[in-house]
């Protein structure tokens, strides 16, 4: 779900935002920055016996491994009935009352390895609008417009103009709170308007996030236990196969699966963000009980967003 907050004007503390956003002449993107540093606050105790669960049936080298249930071949998942990647319904990002009659609604989607911001600009005034442009402030993942905003102008009174903006990850980086908040400025021939939204994490999961089985336990061991968090997820009616399909369709890759005690299904996952952050997971499914999820990463600040993304994907 896209979270939004809009402002008609910037008050105290907005000097940095104004300085960064008013130059809407699209300078060349800066080189990609290093991944966001880990946030070690609010750490949680590791899942009891989780290491034994993960490593008990996976080959760590030195001989043949017992035979866990192998992860499905990703190519087998994309049949005609396989799910598409999740796209949240559009939401109002900038209300007309705060933008002199311009309403901006939109959502984020990942298509063909590209992040897209799908927008609809609605003119609720009595005159035409033109001269549209958009710019992003510095943010945690270097998100920035990949090209000038293309709008069929003029946008006449009462008309809605759809457009799609490709987003690159080579913009300037500054850690935000929350991590995926992006401040934006929308310009037209009337004025410049400021708003912000929280980009859903699943559009930042890259297609290269599938991890080899022998690397998974090695990376899990290298991450300190205090950088692990566990969650109880909302109940799902999806089968294990359906869960694996929707996760894979959204670049949450299944590394391996196996049977646990009491009929549990354990699914081990890997996610890689656009800036190189890896997040490993263990998802437990049990009949008649809500799923549980353990996430582990060197960058603890990313865990809440991965948790929220997986909840959204499974609820679809």
Check if the beta carbon of residue 129 is closer than 8 Å to that of residue 155.
yes
**Residue range 166-211, pLDDT digits in tens:** 999 999 999 999 999 999 999 999 999 999 999 999 999 999 999 9
Tell me: pLDDT of 276 over 60: yes
CB hemisphere CA count around 205 (13 angstroms) = 28
**C-alpha span between 163 and 161 (Å, rounded):** 7
pLDDT: which is higher, 23 or 2: 2
* Res. 49: pLDDT tops 60: no
- The pLDDT, as a whole number, for residue 50 is 47
Please state, rounded to an integer, the average pLDDT across all residues of the chain.
82
Q: Is the Cβ–Cβ distance between 312 and 65 less than 8 Å? A: no
- Asked if residue 125 lies in contact with residue 164, where contact means CB atoms within 8 angstroms, the answer is no
- The structure tokens listed for 185 are 């400025």
CA gap 16, 131 in Å, rounded: 24
Q: Is 305 helix (H, G, I), strand (E, B) or coil?
A: helix
Q: Which of 52-61, 175-184, 203-212, 253-262 has the lowest mean pLDDT?
A: 52-61
- As beta bridge partners, residue 182 has 197
Please report which confidence band the pLDDT of residue 79 belongs to, taking 50, 70 and 90 as the band edges. very low
193 vs 103: CA distance, rounded Å: 11
pLDDT for residue 244 is more than 90: yes
Report the pLDDT value the prediction gives residue 83, as an integer from 0 to 100: 82
Give which of 182, 211, 200, 219 is closest to 272, Cα–Cα. 211
| Main-chain phi, psi angles of 248, to 5 degrees | -65, -35
Percent of the chain with pLDDT over 70: 74
Decide: 249 and 315 in contact? Cβ < 8 Å.
no
Which value, to the nearest 10 degrees, does the dihedral of the CA atoms of residues 88, 90, 93, 99 take? 170
59 vs 263, more confident: 263
Distance CA 293, CA 102 (A): 42
CB atoms under 10 Å from CB of 100, counted, come to 14
Check whether 279 has a pLDDT greater than 50.
yes
> Would you place residue 34 in the very low, low, confident or very high pLDDT band (cuts 50, 70, 90)?
very low
Instruction: Flag whether pLDDT at 158 surpasses 60.
Output: yes
pLDDT at 56: 53
Residues 82-108, mean pLDDT to the nearest whole number: 95
Of the candidate ranges 27-41, 78-92, 242-256, the one whose mean pLDDT is the lowest: 27-41
pLDDT value of position 316: 76
Is the confidence at residue 226, as pLDDT, over 80?
Answer: yes
**Residue 198 — φ and ψ, nearest 5°?**
-105, 115
**Measured distance CA(45)–CA(188) in Å, rounded:** 51
The radius of gyration of the chain from alpha carbons, rounded to an integer in Å, stands at 22
**Tokens standing for residue 200:** 């859903």
The reported pTM is 0.78
* pLDDT confidence bin for 11, thresholds 50/70/90: very low
What pLDDT, in 10s, does the model give residues 99-153? 999 999 999 999 999 999 999 999 999 999 999 999 999 999 999 999 999 999 9
Question: Is the pLDDT reported for residue 22 higher than 90?
Answer: no
| Three-class secondary structure of residue 180 per DSSP | coil
Does the pLDDT of residue 55 top 60, yes or no? no
Residue 14 has pLDDT above 80, yes or no: no
pLDDT of residue 75: 41
Closest CA to 115 of 126, 123, 106, 127: 106
């Amino acid at each position: 779900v896209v979270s939004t907050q809009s402002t008609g004007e910037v008050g105290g503390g907005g000097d940095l935002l104004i300085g960064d956003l008013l130059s809407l002449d699209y300078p060349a993107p800066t080189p990609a920055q290093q991944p966001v540093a880990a946030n070690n606050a609010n750490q949680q105790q590791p899942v009891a016996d989780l290491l034994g669960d993960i490593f008990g049936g996976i080959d760590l080298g030195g001989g043949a491994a017992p035979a866990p249930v192998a992860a499905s071949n990703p190519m087998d998942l994309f049949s005609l009935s396989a799910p598409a990647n999740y796209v949240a319904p559009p939401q109002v990002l900038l209300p007309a009352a705060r933008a002199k009659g311009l309403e901006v609604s939109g959502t984020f989607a990942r298509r063909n390895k590209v992040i897209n911001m799908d927008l609809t600009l609605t003119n609720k005034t009595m005159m035409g609008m033109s001269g549209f442009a958009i710019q992003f402030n510095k943010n945690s993942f270097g998100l920035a417009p990949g090209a000038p905003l293309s709008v069929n102008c003029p946008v006449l009174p009462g008309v809605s103009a759809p457009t799609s903006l490709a987003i690159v990850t080579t913009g300037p980086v500054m850690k935000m709170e929350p991590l995926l908040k992006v401040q934006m400025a929308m310009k037209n021939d009337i004025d410049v308007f400021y708003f912000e939204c929280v980009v859903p994490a699943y559009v930042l999961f890259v297609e290269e996030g599938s991890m080899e089985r022998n690397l998974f336990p090695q990376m899990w061991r290298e991450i300190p236990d205090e950088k692990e968090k566990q969650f109880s997820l909302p109940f799902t009616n999806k089968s294990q196969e359906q869960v694996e399909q929707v996760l894979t369709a959204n670049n949450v890759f299944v590394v391996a699966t196996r049977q646990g005690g009491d009929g549990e299904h354990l699914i081990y996952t890997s996610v890689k963000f656009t800036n190189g952050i890896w997040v490993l997971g263990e998802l437990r499914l049990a009949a008649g009980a809500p799923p549980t999820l353990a996430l582990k990463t060197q960058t603890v600040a990313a865990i809440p967003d991965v948790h929220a993304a997986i909840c959204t994907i499974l609820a679809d």
